[in-house]
Structure 1
Amino acid sequence: MPRKLTHAACAVTVTTALALGAAPAALAAERPDSAAAADTPLSATDTSELVRIADGYLNQRADTVTATGRNRKAPVVPQAAEASLRARLAQEFTTLAKQGRAYEKASGGYTRAEVKATPGAATRSGDTATLELTEDTRLLYPDVPKGAPEAEEYSLAHTLTFTRTAAGGWQLASDKPDLGTGDVTTYAAAPEEGRTEPDSQDKDTPAVRASLARPAEQSPKAAASYNYRKMVAYANKYWKHPNDDYRTYGNDCTNFISQAMYAGGWKPVGGSLLDRRNNKKWFYGPQPWTSYTWAGAENWYFFAQVHSKRTKPLRNIWALGTADVLQADWGPRPNNNIDHSMIVTALTRTERYLTYHTGNTHNRKLSNLLAKRPDAWYYAHRT
C-alpha cells in the first residue's frame, strides 16, 4: 500500500469544531440591532443561567452512551435550546445511544457519566451570548477488574452560543467542541482528516495495517532499552493538562506521543532547521526548530518504524502492550494518510486502554474505540 507524507496531521495549529446550530455570525446577522453591538462581559446572573443550561446539555449528551441513555425509548434533549438544534441533537443522541448499545456488547459499555463543567469567559453582543467552557467527563466502566482503570476520562473545550428569547431568557443555539483529529466517545461525527503535504522521500513506502480480529494468544511485551513505565507515567500525568515545557498544537496527539517517548528514553536525531522535513530526523526545539516527525502523525510513523526502526509493526491490534503506540487513518473512507496517534496506558488480559491528546482522553477501552470506528485503518507499533 503506497504511503504519502504529511506534515500536518495532529500538528496543525487550527482549532477544529463541530458546529451544532447557527454560527454566532449568522445569529447576529438575523438580528440587525444586535450585530452592531460590541461584545461586553455578561452579568453574573446571565452567566449563571448559561452555565446551568450548558451543564444540563452536557450531562444529557454524556448520558446517551451509558446504561441510562442506551435503554431509553427516545432521546432526552435540552428544552432550553433553539428548535432546530433540538431536532439535530435528537438525531445525534439517537445515534449515540445506538453506539452505547454497541459498547455494551463489545465491553460491557458504561454504567453512568460524571460531568463537570468549568466556565470561562462569557460575553454578550446584543441578543447573542457566548460562553467558553471546559467539560471534564468520566464514563464509568462496569465490573472493573482489580488494578484496571475504573473509568474513561476526557477533557474538552467548548464554545457555546445562546440567543435571547422573547420572554427574556436564554436558549442554547450552538456548541463548538474542540475535537480536531481525535475522537471523543460522546460525539458521533467522524474525526477531522489531517492535512497532507506530499514528499517523494517516503511516497511509495508500504505500511503494515493491523488486523482487528482477537487472537487466541496475546503477544508479550518485548524487552528493550526504553523505560516503558516512564512513558506511561508521563502520559498519565499530562493527558489532561499539557506539559508547559512544550508548545501545544491545535492537533496535539503526536506531539504528546513524542514527549512520552522522549521521557522513556528515545534520543533526538538531528536538530538543524534544514532537517525539519527529513523523516529520518526527530527532534524538538524552539519554533521553528522542530521536526515534522515530532508532531506530525504520518511523519512520526516513517521515523519510528521505517527509518529508525525504534518501533516494530504489530500485525494484530490486540498484541499492543503498555507504552505501545496505535495510529489511525479514520474512516469511513480512509485516505492513506495517518490522522491520529494514541498510547497504551493500561491493559488487562482482554483489554487495552488508550490515552491521547485532541480531544484529551485517558484510558479509553480499545474494544469501545473499535466498536465506534471499525472502518478506520489502524497501525500498531511495538515501542
Structure 2
Amino acid sequence: MFHPLYLRRLVISLIVFVGGLASLFISGGSSAGASNLVVNPSNDGDLAAVQQKVAHALEARWQLMIDPQVNVKQFYDPSVSEQEESQERAYVRRHYLEPAYRAGFRYTNVEIHPVFESVEINGKMAKVRALVSVEYESVFPGSNESVITKEANIPYSATLIKRDGDWLIVGMNYQDTYSKRGQENVRKVGASGSETPPISIAGGDVVIQGFYTYYSRQGAVNYANRWWNGRNPKYRSFSNDCANFVSQSFYEGGSARQAWAEPYVWWYNAKGTSGTGDDAWTYSWSVAHDQAYHLSRNNETDEHRGTYVSRATDLQLGDSIYYDFDGDGILDHSAIVVEIRNGQPYVNYHTNDTYHRYWDLGAKTTRFLHVTDYYWVN
C-alpha cells in the first residue's frame, strides 16, 4: 500500500501522456521526442505502463527521504527486490538522512520530475533512460523558514520484464557522475611562465609597483547561482563538470587571479577564439583533486589560493569543499559555498547540477578550503 502523503504527491506530480509521447516537464528541460520511444507496434499500451512503473519507482525512492516506510520493493521483480530496496535505502541513508541527522534538520517535502529520454520495448523486455530533476525542502527545528534544494538532470537507466501482464523492474541504475582524477578528458598544458613585474628606478632604489586584488565572495556566489543548472558558452563543458564550475565561479564571479607560474598552476586559456575547440586548461582548473591540491599549496602572493580549515563552520561564502566518496585518498568532487544558514554552509555544484544543498554529502572524507580574501599583485 502507498503511504497517503506519497499518493497525494504522486497524483499531483505524475502526469503521463499516452499515445507515442510520455514525459514530465521540468523548468529548463524538454520532453523526450517520439523518435526516442521505440515500442513494439503490436502492443503500444506497454509504453504507458513501462513509464508509469519507472516513474512510481523513482517517486518511492526519493520519498524515502521523508517516509522510511515507503514500499520500494513493489516495483521490482521478486528476484531482485530485496537487493534493490537495500541499495536504495542505504544510499538515501548515507547521503541524505545521516547528514541531516548530524546537522539537526529534517526533510519535509520532495517532488520529482522525470523526463524520459528513451524507452525501448522488445516483447517482454524494456529498457528506459530518464533524466530526473528533484526539488526538496528541509527545515531546522525552531525555524519557520524552509531551505529549497534542487538537483537537476540526474541520469537513470532501468531494465524491466513483463510477468503475468505486469511490468516489473529488474535493474535500476543511477549513473554516478562524480569522476576520479584521470577519468576526465582534459589537457594539462605547461605554464607560459611568470610575467616580469614592472619596476621603476627612483633615487637608485628599485621600487616594485603593484596593487591589492580582492576576492569577491558575493560575486562568486552570484555566478554559481546564475549557472548552477547551465553552462557558460565561454568555457568547455565537461561530462564531469564540478571543478570546472567551481573554477569559473572563482574567476568569473569572484575575480580571482589565475595562477600561471609552475608548479601550482590554475588557469584556462580560451586563446581568443570564438569557439572552445582549441581551448587549453590545467588539471587544477577542471579536476577536483588537482584543484584542491594546487590551490591549498600555492604560496605565491599574486595568485588565487586557499587554506584548509578543520570544520565546515569555518567556511565563508565563496569557499570550496572537496569530497572523497570511497575513502581512497582521491578527491572526487568539488562544490562552492553559496549560503550560510544556522552556521552551516550550503553549496552549489555541477554534475549532477545542484542548487543550495547542505554541504555534507555523505562522503568518507571531506576537505574544506578557505579562499584567500586578498593578495598583493606585482
What's the TM-score once normalised by structure 2's chain length? 0.68
Letter in 2 for 1:63: Q
CA distance in 1 between partners of 2:291 and 2:353 (Å): 19
State the 1:96 CA deviation: 4.9
Deviation per CA, 1:338-373, whole angstroms, max 9, x where unpaired?
22111001012421101111222221113x43xx33
CA distance in 2 between partners of 1:239 and 1:299 (Å): 22
2:297 to 289, 306, 309: 306
Give the 3-state SS of the residue equivalent to 1:171 in structure 2.
strand
Residue of structure 2 equivalent to 1:283: 268
Deviation per CA, 1:113-161, whole angstroms, max 9, x where unpaired?
1111122222234433222211111221124898976222212433423
1:234 to 223, 228, 242: 223
Retained in 2: the 8 A contact 1:41–1:122? yes
1:137 matched to 2:127? The reply is: no
Residue of structure 1 equivalent to 2:77: 82
1:363 to 338, 345, 356: 356
CA distance in 2 between partners of 1:268 and 1:94 (Å): 43
1:353 matched to 2:328? The reply is: no
Deviation per CA, 1:264-320, whole angstroms, max 9, x where unpaired?
2134455xxxx9x96424114334522222201222234423235523214223211
CA distance in 1 between partners of 2:113 and 2:343 (Å): 30
1:346/1:146 Cα in 2 relative to 1: closer, same or farther (>3 Å)? farther
CA distance in 2 between partners of 1:161 and 1:177 (Å): 9
Residue of structure 2 equivalent to 1:378: 367
Residue of structure 1 equivalent to 2:151: 154
Retained in 2: the 8 A contact 1:279–1:300? no
- CA-based RMSD: 3.3
Letter in 2 for 1:328: Y
1:54 matched to 2:49? The reply is: no
Letter in 1 for 2:110: A
1:144/1:252 Cα in 2 relative to 1: closer, same or farther (>3 Å)? farther
Q: Percent identity?
A: 18
State the 1:108 CA deviation: 1.6
1:281/1:241 Cα in 2 relative to 1: closer, same or farther (>3 Å)? closer
Letter in 2 for 1:114: E
Retained in 1: the 8 A contact 2:309–2:370? no
State the 1:224 CA deviation: 6.1
The equivalences for 1:17-56 within 5 A come to 41-42=38-39, 45-56=45-56
Q: State the structure with bigger RCO (CA 8 A, min sep 6), 1 or 2.
A: 1
Which has the larger share of strand?
2
Retained in 2: the 8 A contact 1:193–1:330? no
The equivalences for 1:328-343 within 5 A come to 328-331=323-326, 333-335=327-329, 337-343=330-336
1:259/1:98 Cα in 2 relative to 1: closer, same or farther (>3 Å)? closer
Deviation per CA, 1:194-253, whole angstroms, max 9, x where unpaired?
3489x9x9xxxxxxxxxxxxxxxxxxxxx9613222211221122223334433222211
Letter in 1 for 2:358: K
Retained in 2: the 8 A contact 1:132–1:158? yes
Letter in 1 for 2:78: A
Retained in 2: the 8 A contact 1:284–1:291? no
May I ask how many residue pairs the two structures share in their alignment? 296
1:173 to 170, 174, 178: 170
Retained in 2: the 8 A contact 1:328–1:339? yes
Q: Which runs of 5+ in 2 are unaligned?
A: 1-35, 191-211, 271-275, 373-378
Larger Rg: 2
Q: Which runs of 5+ in 1 are unaligned?
A: 1-38, 182-191, 202-222
State the 1:165 CA deviation: 1.6
1:345/1:246 Cα in 2 relative to 1: closer, same or farther (>3 Å)? same
CA distance in 2 between partners of 1:236 and 1:146 (Å): 24
1:321 to 316, 321, 331: 316
CA distance in 2 between partners of 1:120 and 1:196 (Å): 25
State the 1:260 CA deviation: 1.0
1:94/1:359 Cα in 2 relative to 1: closer, same or farther (>3 Å)? same
Deviation per CA, 1:54-89, whole angstroms, max 9, x where unpaired?
2211111111122x22xx3xx511423222331112
1:45/1:236 Cα in 2 relative to 1: closer, same or farther (>3 Å)? farther
The equivalences for 1:184-199 within 5 A come to 193-195=180-182
CA distance in 2 between partners of 1:163 and 1:196 (Å): 30
